[in-house]
Amino acid sequence: MCGILAVLGCADASLARRSRVIELSRRLRHRGPDWSGIHCFEDCYLAHQRLAIMDPTSGDQPLYNEDKTIVVTVAEGKLKSHKFSTGSDCEVIAHLYEEYGEDFVDMLDGMFSFVLLDTRDKSFIVARDAIGITPLYMGWGLDGSIWFASEMKALSDDCERFVSFLPGHLYSSKNGGLRRWYNPPWYSERIPSTPYDPLVLREAFEKAVVKRLMTDVPFGVLLSGGLDSSLVAAVASRHLAGTKLLGSGALSCIPSGSPDLRAAREVADYLGTLHHEFHFTVQEGIDALEEVIYHIETYDVTTIRASTPMFLMSRKIKSLGVKMVLSGEGSDEIFGGYLYFHKAPNKRSFMRKRIKALHLYDCLRANKSTSAWGLEARVPFLDKSFINIAMEIDPDWKMIRPDLGRIEKWVLRNAFDDEQNPFLPKHILYRQKEQFSDGVGYSWIDGLKDHANEHVSDAMLMNASFVYPENTPTTKEAYYYRTIFEKFFPKVDSPRGPSVACSTAKAVEWDASWSKNLDPSGRAALGVHEAAYEGPRVPPRPLRTPPAR
């Protein structure tokens, strides 16, 4: 996933300003280690750090239309009615803009953040993908300039104020502001009523996975052993039958005791993928914390716990020569996979909120943990077409109903429960959810807490509200992460602008017991988890098993 930096409307258009933009753009080089580019037009600068996934030989950016009056960085798609100078999927942006104007953004299908400059009238538009898979930030300089960047670190020293650019939004200099371009029916407050059709759901997901297999470089799958990553691997390997898919890996703090590790091995054996396991110790994870927080740019406890293994794993994966991976983010939010959904009182309470916040948590983790090492993560569960289908299903089908044999994410499990041509072993298909940070072993979380306890005193935590009045940490672990974050981004929570770091993630408090829980990990649902494992876990008879192919 490439890195972009745009500075538009600078009062200073000197060589010194160009050098400064290049210097700041270098802070994003981890996102795009393959090449750098910059375009300067009067008082506007567009800089780019490229990760070459499609057309490595000729797709350097910024990209242009035929007469080079339109300059753009980063997006995804195809268009046949123009002459293309590269094989990069990003070039389509300039041509779509020429043909359709600003309204073309809803035609894009994929993950993207881009800045487009029209030099004919010096106007520009900026947009971010529907869910916020790719990060984007927006800032303002004292000289009246407006800035856009893939990560905060390129803005924090030179912008007086900066904020997160909202997913599914477009900024237009012509129309003077930000507007939402992504307006699917499920975004409203109405309750969807489409009946559940397992075949439609399965086919939509298969298309989403296959669509993400377009690449000119080696790729793999992040196989945790959970339902979501296992389904991604199963669909990809079935589509690539005869090809050795590189399954990249299960992680463990406990060399042989991790529940995810055992399941990942079994899935890899079942699918016949080329599997790699990467192990790390608690101390190795602790040693990486400062780097992790610098790259993911948040102090959220759950995000840091889960990002550290992913950060370490991404480095190992890159060492294998892999530049792109498929991952399973988004499924839990779409289908109610987290164990606290057992407490959802009704279908109106069941949906939306978690999906709208994905850009602050899971998308942020997946993108920045991998991009730290020049690795691109693609997420088929967040395919725009698939989400629109999945979110239109009447949420009554997604409700957890033990009396009907429906566990969490039953609609997804049932869609892939094919007796004639199984995608996965039955017990993997119906395996209960593990938090990422919990699935790699509880010793990781305990080690983090012990380390934080050594560095944060009772007095420090007692006075936390005075030191950090915004999003005040409530545990020593949260306080410790906050001190590291403030070292790198000291202005983020200052009076000069609101914080763009996400606040502490909390499960939806459908039950009074949640408000008493200070630990945001999956342990909050241990009662649910243990109860669900009482007795044999025999999956219910499928509502309707789609025919084998």
Q: Which residues are annotated as a binding site for L-glutamine?
A: 89
**β pairing state of 113-118 and 63-64:** unpaired
Tokens 């009074």 — which residue?
A: 512
| Nearest CA-CA partner of 340 in 514, 151, 183, 198 | 514
CA diameter of the chain: 72
77 within 8 A of 89, measured Cβ to Cβ: yes
Question: What residue numbers does the annotated binding site cover?
Answer: 89, 222, 327-328
Partners of 137 in the β-ladder: 149, 164
Sheet holding 376-378, edge to edge: 274-279, 246-252, 219-221, 324-326, 376-378
260 C-beta neighbours (distance < 10 Å), count: 23
Residue 304, helix vs strand vs coil: helix
- The Cα 96–Cα 118 span in angstroms is 13
Please confirm, yes or no, whether 363 is among the known catalytic residues: no
Phi-psi region at 246: left, alpha or beta (left = phi > 0; alpha = psi -120 to 50)? beta
CA distance 542 to 405: 10
Quick one: which H or E segment has residue 201? helix 198-211
Q: In the Cβ-directed half-sphere of 180, how many Cα atoms lie within 13 Å?
A: 9
The rounded distance, in Å, linking the Cα atoms of 299 and 453 is 17
Binding-site entries for ATP? 222, 327-328
Catalytic residues: 2
